[in-house]
Amino acid sequence: MAAHLVRLNKYLSEAGYCSRRKADKLIEAGRVTINDQIPEMGTKVSSNDVVKVDDTVISNEKEKFVYLAFHKPIGIVCTTDTRVEKDNIIDYINYPKRIFPIGRLDKPSEGLILLTDDGDIVNKILRASNHHEKEYVVTVDKPISQTFIKRMSKGIYLKELQQKTRPCKVEIIDDTTFKIILTQGLNRQIRRMVAFLDYEVQSLKRIRIMNIQLDLPVGSYRELTENEFTTLQQLLSDSAKTHKPHS
């Protein structure tokens, strides 16, 4: 496959070296070389060419962002402050590049959490107005009633947070276990909702974030597949359009 060609001034600006106008001046001054040859204005280059400014190689290869799915064990804290919290997610994963978790999953909970070094996608996923789905399996301390399911589904006013939870999907799995799909991420939301109805959470596991399913053993991580990432981008783009704030 033929290498993609771009004009030299565009190459230098895309590499973050300087503006196109400044690049034109550098080329004109003979300070830029392609494969050790001084080029003419308007020359095109590909990723196979070696571009230098004053003998310094300029690469416009963008470093790829990292997108990980991780099955967080109970007892690990979703913080990047490794000095304060010894059982933190960053030290646990020990990834060779600086990454951070997207959102949180509290210490006594386990399940899916995404990590990345792409700040832009973090903001898009965490924006509460976008109504992104997160799915959990929860076990409580006594048999679940239909009233419990109905009240959880309709939303509960949490006095300590001074807000009512959004209506959500709740489904009984067995006597003491239910599945819940939230479209918001209030602090310890499920535990607070359950406590309001005089139940107590025994175990809480997040099994899905948007289109990403939990399919990993506890404590392990993997990169998102190309298909997962493409779908994720599409969902983010769609929700941004659907839930655009009114101006």
Active site residues: 106
Q: Which of 220, 227, 3 is nearest to 113 (CA)?
A: 220
Give the angle 117-95-100 at the CA atoms, nearest 5°.
35
Residue 55, amino acid = D
Residue 132, amino acid = H
Half-sphere exposure of 63 (CA within 13 A, CB side): 6
CA 168 to CA 238: how far, in whole Å?
A: 20
**CB-based contact 214:206 (threshold 8 Å):** yes
**CB-based contact 175:143 (threshold 8 Å):** yes
Beta partners for residue 169, in sequence order? 181
DSSP string, 53-119: ETTEE----PPPPPEEEEEEPTT-B--S-TTT-TTBHHHHH--SS--EESS---TT-EEEEEEES-H
- Token digits for 244? 């655009």
